[in-house]
Amino acid sequence: VILRRVLIANRGEIAVRVMRTCRRLGIETVLTVTEADADAVPARLADKTIEITSYLDVDAVVAAAAAARADAIHPGYGFLSENPRLARACEAAGIVFIGPGADVLEAAGDKLMARGHAAAAGLPVLPGGLAEAAGAEALAERIGYPVLVKAAGGGGGRGLRVVRDPGELAGAVAVGSAEAQAAFGDARVYLERYVSPARHVEVQLLGDGENVIHLGDRDCSVQRRYQKLIEEAPAPRLGETLRVGMRAAAVAFGLHLKYQGLGTVEFLVDPERSAFWFLEMNARIQVEHPVTEAVTGLDLVAEQIAVAEGRGLRLSQASVRQDGHAIECRINAEDPAARFRPSPGTVTSAVFPAGPGIRVDTHIQAGSAVPPQYDSLLAKLVVAGGSRAEALDRLRGALARCEIGGVATTLPVHAALAADDEFAAGGVGTEYLALWLELQTRLVRDKSG
Amino acid sequence: MDLNPLTNEDVADILALLDSLPYDELDLQTPRFRLTLRRAPGGWTQSMQVLSAPERLAATAMSHRGAPDHSDVTLPSSAAGAGEGGNAADEAEDAELVAVRAPLPGTFYRAPRPGAAPFVEVGSRVEADTVIGIVETMKLMNSVHAGVAGVVAGFCVANAEFAAQGAALLRIRAGQ
């Protein structure tokens, strides 16, 4: 198949990102928009738009693709991107779903099932299992406190809770379960050993159903409440044994699933013990894919499309090169001064840096609405350099030239982190950002007190 | 930035040209976009305005407009500036009715998950720390507490409806 018209079933920066590659490849784009997004930048950039009432409505998305006579649907990330029902509905309607098949989406999307597959493929997994009301306490005792309560139906930090005390377990399971139901329509939660300090490192995979290669690793340890804020490629100060081991494990997992398309295997890393465990697989393009593009020189959306067209992998493992270092900052409409409270509104000004080694993926411009019903990502600032030090230096300069008015953003946090010695040293753990933020709050209090 | 009329590479090419010229600013406007490049300390800045209007495909059967009309709520729901958009008389004559307001703009949920029992109903007895609902803003679930002890007198926003920041979600008859 050659794709000539693609329906992009998403919004925001990723919709713009997918359109850019489509345009370069001569593929026409039709964008689904809700009322809130009908006049947004992605809608202005698409060749055509088609209105739907919700980005989560499988039937509406497939009907839109049929009405637009699209050859394929690109689901972006979030929303329906890992929804097996959409993949099946596409198949039934003779539309190409740009992503893995429904079976793989089911295997990866059910985090509990994915754990099983990972173990079967020989990957290390943390002690854990399904939390059923009756057996949860016994299971937690076996795992040992603290334990993490996680949603089986999906990732993204929702439904996640750390439980340090047996007395809090039942409540955490109930609340996590409610959150999981609301977010994924699946109330099941599972328990897993909580490892801290730890780093969050992931491996980018690309497969065609038979062959699977990796496109290197990314470090996503700078997180707040399990939401990534800064990502980089490659993971700094990892050590070759760990790096090689994780990449091989990720490929083994991909081969086990006969993975087709772009996917990411996430690992938890204990650098002191030089150990890693499988966390989950994201069967879609990732928010932080640009850092991989920056060091490999590849266009991951183009590779996704090539695989979806059934052309097989165009790359061999040996042909994938990695040069230099890249860092991405997620600029969110959140107010760091008010505990990262969402800050919807209207963007009054949007000035970004430009120049060598700088890339900004965004869907906002002066006058853009930031609607409260969608996520808070406004822009991704990606900088690359020959070394991590050079990338970091470039990042500091680039952040200083960023200015977004009208809504509160995470820009000040990025500027301060880019200037922080511990971050500059590289290899911080997942607890780093919370501790750093706490320290800043204390410093401000001490100064004013 | 990677907005479509110009790619990152296009902008880089323009910058390479500008770097050798004595100008500090370029303001380029076409019917489709406006690009402003400025020399700043440490490098260049860019701002882009996409000017073209969206091109819509003819509405099809499936694109029925089911979006809730946010202004169409059953009970008076005054916004942050109390009394301004709401029903002042209602509040005045019932001084002991306390509005619980949305901490952020977002979707109001009365139950922890679809199909579950609501957190509270009309007539429910609440304490200050009782959760009366959830407001979902940008994928973040914010629990809303009653803030005052009393009995739920009525809802101002229906389940799964949008609530503006500061809008009254429900009213509580305080004390008792």
- What is the average per-residue pLDDT within A441-449? 83
Digit-coded pLDDT (tens) for A310-345: 999 999 999 999 999 999 999 999 999 999 999 999
User: What is the distance between the alpha carbons of residues B78 and B164, in angstroms, rounded to a whole number?
Assistant: 9
Low-confidence ranges of chain B (pLDDT < 50): 1-2, 61-93
Encoded tokens for A274: 């030089």
What is the overall mean pLDDT for chain A? 95
Of B45, B104, B116, which is closest to A401 when you measure between CB atoms?
Answer: B45
Contact yes or no for B1 and A361 at CB 8 A: yes
CB pairs under 8 A between A and B: 177
The alpha-carbon gap from A121 to the nearest alpha carbon of chain B, in Å, equals 34
Q: Which of A30, A50, A355 sits opposite B63 (nearest CB)?
A: A50
Active-site option among A193, A284, A330, A359:
A284
| pLDDT for the residue numbered B93 | 43
Pick from B60, B107, B138 the residue to mutate for testing the A interface (most A CBs within 10 Å): B138
Q: According to the model, what pLDDT value does residue A292 have?
A: 98
Residues 14-73 (A) with a CB less than 8 A from some CB of B: 16-17, 19-20, 23-24, 30, 33-35, 38-39, 41, 43-53, 59-60, 63-64, 67-68
Q: What confidence score (pLDDT) does residue B113 get?
A: 80
pLDDT of A249 above 90: yes
Task: Point out the residue among A35, A44, A362 whose CB comes nearest to the CB of B53.
Answer: A44
More confident residue, A371 or A445: A371
Q: What is the mean pLDDT of residues A411-435?
A: 97
Q: B12 to chain A nearest CA, in Å?
A: 6
Q: Indicate if A284 belongs to the active site.
A: yes
Contact residues on chain B for A39, CB-CB shorter than 8 A: 53-54
Mean pLDDT of all residues in A369-395: 97
Compute the Cα dihedral for B87, B88, B90, B96 and give only its sign. positive
pLDDT at residue number B65: 40
Query: Residues 123..152 of B with a Cβ closer than 8 Å to A: which?
Result: 134, 136-141
Mean pLDDT value of segment A369-378? 96
pLDDT beyond 90 at A55: yes
CA–CA gap between residue A92 and residue B174 (Å, rounded): 57
Q: A312, B74 in Cβ contact below 8 A?
A: no
Tell me whether residue A236 is exposed, middle or buried, using C-beta atoms within 10 angstroms of its C-beta: 0 to 12, 13 to 18, 19 or more. middle
Does an H or E element contain A328, and which? strand A325-332
Residue B4 has a pLDDT of 61
Residue A408 pLDDT exceeds 70? yes
Predicted confidence (pLDDT) at residue A247 exceeds the cutoff of 80: yes
Average pLDDT over residues A101-122: 96
Contact B84, B164 (CB under 8 A): no
Nearest to B3 among A41, A47, A375 (CB): A41
Return the bridge partners of B29, or none: B34
Cis peptide before B103 (omega within 30 of 0): no
Per-residue pLDDT at B8:
83
Q: Which residues of B fall within a CB distance of 8 Å from A33?
A: 54
In this structure, chain A runs to a length of: 449
Per-residue pLDDT at B82: 35
- Residues 106..165 of A with a Cβ closer than 8 Å to B: which? 158
Structure confidence at residue B94 (pLDDT): 57
* Contact of A162 with A396, CB cutoff 8 Å: no
d(CA B123, CA B63): 39
- Please tell me which of the candidates B55, B63, B138 has its beta carbon nearest to residue A374: B138
Q: For chain B, what is the radius of gyration of the CA atoms?
A: 25
Using an 8 Å CB-CB cutoff, list chain B residues near A353.
Answer: 43-46
* Threshold 0.90, pTM exceeds: no
Rounded-to-integer distance, Cα A251 and Cα A387, Å: 26
Tens digits of per-residue pLDDT, A345-369? 999 999 999 999 999 999 999 999 9
pLDDT higher at A384 or B163: A384
3-state secondary structure A236-283: CCCCHHHHHHHHHHHHHHHHHCCCEEEEEEEEEEECCCCEEEEEEEEC
Q: What does the pLDDT look like over A149-198, one tens digit per residue?
A: 999 988 777 778 899 999 999 999 998 888 888 878 889 999 999 998 99
| A62, closest residue in chain B (CA to CA) | B62
**pLDDT number for residue A179:** 85
Decide if A53 and B66 are in contact by the 8 Å CB cutoff. Answer: yes
Q: Is A353 on the interface with B (CB under 8 A)?
A: yes
Q: Do A20 and B50 touch (CB under 8 A)?
A: no
Q: How many CB atoms lie within 10 A of CB B76?
A: 17
